[in-house]
């Protein structure tokens, strides 16, 4: 029967349909024998029994007797205290009946889990009062804990042949189908053997099956569906065919899958996490529109190997200035882009404020070649859309490795944006891989047993043993076999801190060097505030060494928040784009105190968002950053500077150029728009911690005001490495996320005075390179400990008497080896006009402009021409909209 399923037209066959009726799962297995039914009260002659059916035919209607069951287990009320680990794991459950399977029935449970189990509360006559299925993770984690130690899930090629191993503890039967290619029918079908202790199924074949396609046939009970025969790919697939229809057997250690020089190639090294200066980049964006790249390689991994292209010359220039890492948006196998036959829309020649361009893009969005890719299908294989041949599993592996080698050769480490917090689908969807193998296990469920979707999609549950293992094993694979140097975790706050710390240890051990971890530590959804576990979130990672993105300074710099719509986009100005000092026509008059409060939040970021760093706040009080308020949260939360990622723009939300279009006065000159952009970049460059820059920040990149370009096609995600066009005015952005704001956008997009020309783009790029050079010139901008930051960084011009249009930061290099300078004093003046600061505590010193400003090739000539320091008084005159640094050289 499995042989027919290998080549059946559909991916599933329902062998025994479940009877109609509710399919909720309001009860939980806590471990192999204990159950909790939240809200249920048992007593007064009632009983609770666990009904079971191998074929999934149970019918439990209120007021009637249970029908269709093979039998029922009597349960005991459990009145003891839960073991500490269980009490902690299931602390989110409401109070209710806690029940236990009797000793004499415990041995039957593994077999019963392969069918339907229904918890039924009955009256003395056996009539149903209530019934529910159970959420199964607690039982499977306990029964099959030994599976966590298995190190060869997937298809493994060795000296003795090929082994297949799949974790499917609730399956009734598993077979593997073997195929010659992506289209050929199965030429062999082999049953796998179940391992009782682990719940894994395995098969060893004596041949080296490298290159063969395979799928699994899994017979399994699915709540609400019945007994189903699923044809499914391998969740541990290291190789895939076109459109991920079939897994491919690959040996990642095989010489044929290694580019020339792979074994001897080395990656650039950094000394500490705070040395990271990261550039976030999408593989397709990098070269799709770069005419200097061979046509076949545009939008592909191999574009990075064309060292003479405009894009690679640009990356090398950034690396030479001080950029350390390129972080690639998702490059694992994703579900949203057709690997074979994706289409490109024809964009009409229309006005800059026309809806026609977006209409053309959205008409084919589901079938086009672009998506950010935050919709994982297989975690362990490279995405085929970026390979030269989507049907060739070897091509995507080789070409990915060649890309890594090329970036390493350019002096750049390689980071991956990884998405383990959700999958693209669950249940019996064709893109559901995990859930069609172990139904109900890999995802997180609400109180009724529906999949939680707070992340956008179907939330995974890395608090479950084998989902955490899959995440850790996957990261280890990328670090070991693809030489990934760092990882950025999407919505990392939805994962347990403990799992992330295990992952950190595992990837470091696999790579034999530190692998740096950063992620989005946002605190929201069903896991918020530690509801289910200690999260890998901003305020819960102190001491872990794992970095989280800080929204504190981001919002203060940009103004407002990422969810703003309507008039708030215009009215909520930020520190760099006019708050109080340069109001646009839509901004209300606000007190100077608001600007001072915003400047303090910027200082918090410059001090690494460190919870214990102390400074004098605008109200005159000496406060730690944890005592300064940010939207009801502490402004400072990190324990060490390496635990914070500083940024003012990334792939999410509007680019900085676009948000400034909303917020700057409309008559702001093109040059000043470039300068404001670089003020934002300067905040990131001068901040303690990790510096994170979005690709195109330095070229004034615009997405034509799009607030969410994840599915906006190539048209709204373009980058021009020739520095001629930033693509502002490419039409109204796509309707799904932007339509309600089109009336605000139209006059802005139609304004011919906003779009920068090549001169402004080149100015911005040059200023950005100089900022990187300044950051790289001394470790004083990259201090490694909170103690060092507190000792060496201070903020003149702070407190109630400050001029909040200017932030000054003083870095003291006394006693620190290799600083290059005895002292550094940096200024960021956001006002259009020059400002003068009197800093008598710094007078009498030999302050000179930083060498970068003094070089003949300095991009911004304002510091050298207009900045002035009076030694006797300590008076500094600072040009308008300028970031600059002074230094005191070491004594000879």
Catalytic residues: 490, 520
The tokens 């998405």 sit on which residue? 419
Q: Is 715 left (phi over 0), alpha (psi -120 to 50) or beta?
A: alpha
CA distance 566 to 886: 41
Measured CA to CA, the distance from residue 99 to residue 276 in angstroms comes to: 52
Please report the DSSP string for 40-76 in residue order: ----TT-EEEEEEETTS--B--BTSB-BS-SEEEEEE
Strands 882-888 and 413-418: unpaired
Smallest Cα–Cα separation from 569: which of 632, 650, 661, 655?
A: 661
CA angle 97-101-106, nearest 5°? Answer: 160
Beta strands in 1-60 (DSSP E): 12-17, 27-29, 34-38, 47-53
CB atoms within 10 A of CB 529: 11
Q: At 119, which helix (H) or strand (E)?
A: strand 116-122
Tokens (6 digits) for 493: 């706050």
Contact of 613 with 694, CB cutoff 8 Å: no
Q: How many C-alpha atoms does 193 have within 13 Å on its Cβ side?
A: 6
The DSSP 8-state label assigned to residue 107 in this structure reads G
Phi-psi region of 583 (alpha: psi -120 to 50; beta: other; left: phi over 0): beta
d(CA 481, CA 370): 26
* Structure token digits, residue 589: 């008059």
In the block, tokens 């760099």 appear at 576
Q: What are phi and psi for residue 59, nearest 5 degrees?
A: -125, 125
DSSP 585-625: TTSPP--HHHHHHHHHHHHHHHTTTBTT-EEE-TTS-EEEG
Alpha helices in 496-650 (DSSP H): 497-511, 551-558, 568-571, 592-606
CA angle 124-126-132, nearest 5°? 115
């Amino acid at each position: 029967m499995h042989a027919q399923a290998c080549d059946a037209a559909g991916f599933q066959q329902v062998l025994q349909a479940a009877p109609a009726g509710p399919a909720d799962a309001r009860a939980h297995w806590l471990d192999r024998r204990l159950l909790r039914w939240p809200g249920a009260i048992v007593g007064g002659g009632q009983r609770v029994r666990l009904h079971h059916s191998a074929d999934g035919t149970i019918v439990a209607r209120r007021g009637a007797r249970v029908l269709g069951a093979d039998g029922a287990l009597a349960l005991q009320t459990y009145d003891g205290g839960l073991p500490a680990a269980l009490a902690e794991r299931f602390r989110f459950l409401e109070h209710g009946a806690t029940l236990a399977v009797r000793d004499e029935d415990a041995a039957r449970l593994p077999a019963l889990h392969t069918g339907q189990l229904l918890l039924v509360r009955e009256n003395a006559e056996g009539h149903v009062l209530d019934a529910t299925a159970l959420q199964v993770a607690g039982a499977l984690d306990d029964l099959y804990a030994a599976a966590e130690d298995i190190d060869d899930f997937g298809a493994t090629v060795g000296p003795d042949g090929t082994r297949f191993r799949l974790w499917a503890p609730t399956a009734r039967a598993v077979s593997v189908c073997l195929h010659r290619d992506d289209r050929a029918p199965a030429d062999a079908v082999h049953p796998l053997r179940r391992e009782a202790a682990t719940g894994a199924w395995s098969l060893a074949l004596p041949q080296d099956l490298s290159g063969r396609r395979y799928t699994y046939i899994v017979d399994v009970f699915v709540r609400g569906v019945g007994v189903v025969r699923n044809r499914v790919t391998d969740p541990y697939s290291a190789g895939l065919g076109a459109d991920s229809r079939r897994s491919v057997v690959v040996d990642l250690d095989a010489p044929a899958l290694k580019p020339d020089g792979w074994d001897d190639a080395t990656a650039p090294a950094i000394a500490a996490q705070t040395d990271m200066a990261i550039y976030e980049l999408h593989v397709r964006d990098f070269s799709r529109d770069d005419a200097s790249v061979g046509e076949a390689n545009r939008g592909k991994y191999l574009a990075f190997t064309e060292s003479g292209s405009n894009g690679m010359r640009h990356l090398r220039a950034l690396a030479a200035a001080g950029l350390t890492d390129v972080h690639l948006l998702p490059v694992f196998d994703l579900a949203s882009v057709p690997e074979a036959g994706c289409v490109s829309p024809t964009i009409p020649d229309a006005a800059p404020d026309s809806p026609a361009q977006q209409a053309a893009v959205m008409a084919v969005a589901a079938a086009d070649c672009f998506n950010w890719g935050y919709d994982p299908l297989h975690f362990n294989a490279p995405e085929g859309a970026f390979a030269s041949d989507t049907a060739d599993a070897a091509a995507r592996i080789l070409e990915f490795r060649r890309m890594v080698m090329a970036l390493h050769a350019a002096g750049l480490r390689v980071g991956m944006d990884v998405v383990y917090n959700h999958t693209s689908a669950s249940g019996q969807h064709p893109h559901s891989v995990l859930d069609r193998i172990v139904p109900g296990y890999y995802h997180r469920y609400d109180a009724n047993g529906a999949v939680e979707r707070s992340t956008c999609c179907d939330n995974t549950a890395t608090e479950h043993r084998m989902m955490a293992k899959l995440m850790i094993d996957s990261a280890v694979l990328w670090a070991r076999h693809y030489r990934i140097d760092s990882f950025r975790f999407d919505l990392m706050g939805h994962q347990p801190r403990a799992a992330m710390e295990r992952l950190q240890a595992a990837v470091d051990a696999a790579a034999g060097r530190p692998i740096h971890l950063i992620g989005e530590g946002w605190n929201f959804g069903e896991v918020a505030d530690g509801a289910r576990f200690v999260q890998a979130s901003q305020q819960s990672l102190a001491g872990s060494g794992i970095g989280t993105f800080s929204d504190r300074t981001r919002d203060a710099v940009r103004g407002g928040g990422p969810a703003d719509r309507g008039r708030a986009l215009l009215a909520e100005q930020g520190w760099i784009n006019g708050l109080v000092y340069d109001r646009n026509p839509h901004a209300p008059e606000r007190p100077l105190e608001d600007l001072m409060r915003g400047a303090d939040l910027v200082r918090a970021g410059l001090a690494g968002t460190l919870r214990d760093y102390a400074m004098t706040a605008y109200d005159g009080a000496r406060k730690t950053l944890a005592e300064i308020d940010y939207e009801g949260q502490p402004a400072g939360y990190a324990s060490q500077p390496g635990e914070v990622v500083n940024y003012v723009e990334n792939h999410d939300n509007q680019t900085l150029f676009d948000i400034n279009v909303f917020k700057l006065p409309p008559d702001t000159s093109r040059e000043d728009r470039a300068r404001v952009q670089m003020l934002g970049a300067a905040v990131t460059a001068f901040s303690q911690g990790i510096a994170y820059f979005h690709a195109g920040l330095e070229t004034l990149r615009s997405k034509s005001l799009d607030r969410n370009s994840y599915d906006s096609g190539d048209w709204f995600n373009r980058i021009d490495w020739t520095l001629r066009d930033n693509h502002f005015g490419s039409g109204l952005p796509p309707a799904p996320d932007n339509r309600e704001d089109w009336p605000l956008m139209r006059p802005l997009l139609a304004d011919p005075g906003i779009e920068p020309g090549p001169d402004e783009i080149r100015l911005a790029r040059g200023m950005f390179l100089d900022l990187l050079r300044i950051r790289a010139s001394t470790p004083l901008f990259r201090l490694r400990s909170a103690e060092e930051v507190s000792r060496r960084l201070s903020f003149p011009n702070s407190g109630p008497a400050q001029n909040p249009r200017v932030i000054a930061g003083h870095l003291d290099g006394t006693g620190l080896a290799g600083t290059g300078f005895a002292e550094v004093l940096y200024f960021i003046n956001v006002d259009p006009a020059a400002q003068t600061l009197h800093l008598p505590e710094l007078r009498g010193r030999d302050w000179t402009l930083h060498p970068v400003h003094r070089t003949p090739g300095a991009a911004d000539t304002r510091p050298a021409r207009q900045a002035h320091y009076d030694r006797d008084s300590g008076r500094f005159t600072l040009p308008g909209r300028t970031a600059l640094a002074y230094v005191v050289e070491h004594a000879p």
